A and B are shown apart, each in its own frame.
Chain A
Amino acid sequence: MNRTKLVKLPERLDMMKTPLWSIFLVAGCTILTSFGQLFFKLGMNRFVPSFVGVLTNFQLFGGLAFYGFGALGLIVAFKYGEMSVLYPIVSLSFIWVAGLSFFFLDEHVKTFEVVGLFMILFGVSMIGKGSRGKKIVLRG
């Protein structure tokens, strides 16, 4: 009896080298580095140019830690995924930074800017979709 199986196969065998988890890992890392930027900004706002001033500026250290963990995750993701897929995903940080500066720094987000953010979101999803295969039907 012929059975029809629906399997997801790459368009070409050398594609789909990027596992889905690595894409989500990079997306998570951009959240970390965006918080890192927020903490850097907060740290620079109360920056005192002295030895003690820098050592007691825990926002700066917090920002550095967020950046460090973000970079660590990015390197791990890079090991398993393609750069042409994962590097553009980093642009998601524009979206998080806009959100964080709106909520924590009371900055305005302009309408035109939102258009740009949506274009980034669209672009990231296109790359995500382009890194997957096509659905094809195998018979047998």
Chain B
Amino acid sequence: MISFLAVGLVVLATFTGAFGALFLKLGSARIHRNPVSFIRNSKILIGVLLYASSTVLFLSALRMTELSVLYPFAALSYAWATFLSVYYLKEKMNVMKWVGIASIMVGVAIIGLAG
């Protein structure tokens, strides 16, 4: 029972992590040499906050279940990030990039299952 909650938290963590990366990407368009451009940048701020909450969600899930259960789900963040970059940023994918994403996801899952 409790592990369903943990898995749910991790899936939520992968969503927030991927959206965090998207906001960092959007915010990065407006940065330049002036360090103020990093700080007074609402999108960068949102991105950092999303990343932080993703970490908090993952760590709280980790308190309930083992890493081996959670890592295969944590690997989902690579899929979300790819979908977001295709959907919102109009980036182009190709076979090699998809194979790379799939391989990374399987690799992360294996590391979790091995641990």
Contacts and interface: CB of A to CB of B under 8 A. Distances in A.
Interface string A61-75: 000000000011011
B109 A116 contact: yes
Interface string A127-140: 11111000000000
A119 B110 CA distance: 9
B40 interface: no
A14 B92 contact: yes
B28 A117 contact: no
Interface string A3-46: 00000000110110100000000000000000000000000000
Contacts of B114: 110-113, 115-116
Nearest to B104: A123
A76 B28 contact: yes
Given A116-B111, A126-B103, A129-B96, A79 B85 contact: no
B69 interface: no
Contact of B91 (A84, A118, A128): A84
Interface residues of B, number: 42
A15 B24 CA distance: 21
A11 B92 CA distance: 11
Interface string B70-97: 0000000010011011100101111111
A74 B28 CA distance: 9
Given A11-B94, A119-B107, A130-B96, A76 B115 contact: no
Contacts of A130: 94-97, 99-100
B97 A131 contact: yes
A85 interface: yes
Main SS at interface, chain B = helix
Given A123-B104, A126-B100, A75 B109 contact: no
Listed residue (B91, B96, B101, B103) with the most chain A CB atoms within 10 angstroms of its CB: B103
Nearest to B75: A91
A123 B100 contact: yes
The 7 closest A-B pairs by CB, nearest first: A130-B96, A119-B107, A123-B103, A116-B110, A126-B100, A127-B100, A112-B114
Interface of B: 18, 21-22, 24-25, 27-29, 31, 38, 44, 48, 78, 81-82, 84-86, 89, 91-97, 99-111, 113-115
Given A98-B111, A121-B107, 9 more contacts: A17-B91, A83-B25, A94-B108, A116-B106, A116-B111, A117-B107, A123-B100, A126-B99, A130-B96
